């Protein structure tokens, strides 16, 4: 993961576990579960980013994430820094932002949506490398048959996020 420097971080509690928030000068650059998260930053990168108590982007992100878990915010309005991804990954991540809360799509449909219908596996890899869990809603992508597949934060968290958004939680 090629995350930008200089960055600042903050850890916030959520019903699904502590979430590490990362801000770059351009905006929110990362949200990863502290425990049981694949594809997060290395220990060396984490150590290079100062932890802060207050920061405008991190504080706003923390408030919006808390409201999301209370069922009061289906979309986020935070400046995002997606620059750590390739152009293809950024296209996929921007497409994820278009999936409404409470709805899902498949990897194939997402590939078609970005105009790359034969790139289903590459789309899946980009979804899996999404650095902004919850905020960029990769949890809304399901397998072709509607099965719960791959989520860097774990399938139980993916299931919980989908249930929260459907109002069944």
Parse the chain into domains and list their residue ranges: 8-69, 87-166
Give tens-digit pLDDT for 52-69: 999 999 999 999 999 999
Find out whether 52 and 10 touch, Cβ atoms under 8 Å.
yes
Is the bond preceding 6 in cis, omega lying within 30 degrees of 0? yes
Q: Find the farthest-apart pair of alpha carbons in the chain and give their distance in angstroms, rounded.
A: 45
Q: Which of 3-7, 113-117, 160-164 has the lowest mean pLDDT?
A: 3-7
The span from the CA of 11 to the CA of 20, in Å, is 4
Find out whether 123 and 110 touch, Cβ atoms under 8 Å.
yes
Tokens representing 79 are: 């400046």
pLDDT number for residue 8: 96
Name the CATH architecture for the domain at 8-69.
Answer: 2-Layer Sandwich (3.30)
Q: What is the DSSP letter of 140?
A: G
pLDDT number for residue 168: 64
pLDDT number for residue 46: 86
Active site residue 7: no
Average pLDDT over residues 102-112: 95
Angle between helices 120-128 and 87-96 (to 10 degrees): 80
Q: Which of 19, 57, 61, 138 is catalytic?
A: 138
Whole-number mean pLDDT of the chain? 93
Name the CATH architecture for the domain at 87-166.
Answer: Orthogonal Bundle (1.10)
φ, ψ (nearest 5 deg) of residue 12: -125, 150
Confidence band (pLDDT; 50, 70, 90) for 3? low
Tokens representing 62 are: 């923390």
Tell me how crowded residue 147 is: count the other CB atoms within 10 A of its CB: 8
pLDDT number for residue 167: 77
Average pLDDT over residues 121-125: 96
Which residue is associated with the tokens 């995350």? 3
pLDDT at 134 > cutoff 90: yes
pTM of the model: 0.92
Average pLDDT over residues 121-140: 96
């Amino acid at each position: 993961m090629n995350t930008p420097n200089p960055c600042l971080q903050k850890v916030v509690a959520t019903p699904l576990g502590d979430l590490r928030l990362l801000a770059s000068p351009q905006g929110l650059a990362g949200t990863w579960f502290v425990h049981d998260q694949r594809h997060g930053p290395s220990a060396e990168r984490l150590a290079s980013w100062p932890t802060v108590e207050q920061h405008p982007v991190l504080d706003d992100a923390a408030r919006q994430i808390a409201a999301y878990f209370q069922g009061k915010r289906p979309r986020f309005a935070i400046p995002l820094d997606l620059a750590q991804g390739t152009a293809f990954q950024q296209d996929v991540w921007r497409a994820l932002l278009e999936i409404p809360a409470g709805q899902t799509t498949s990897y194939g449909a997402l590939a078609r949506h970005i105009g790359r219908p034969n790139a289903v596996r590459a789309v899946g890899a980009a979804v899996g490398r999404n650095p902004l869990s919850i905020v960029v809603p990769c949890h809304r992508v399901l397998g072709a048959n509607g099965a719960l597949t791959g989520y860097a934060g774990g399938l139980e968290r993916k299931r919980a996020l989908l249930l929260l958004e459907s109002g069944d939680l």
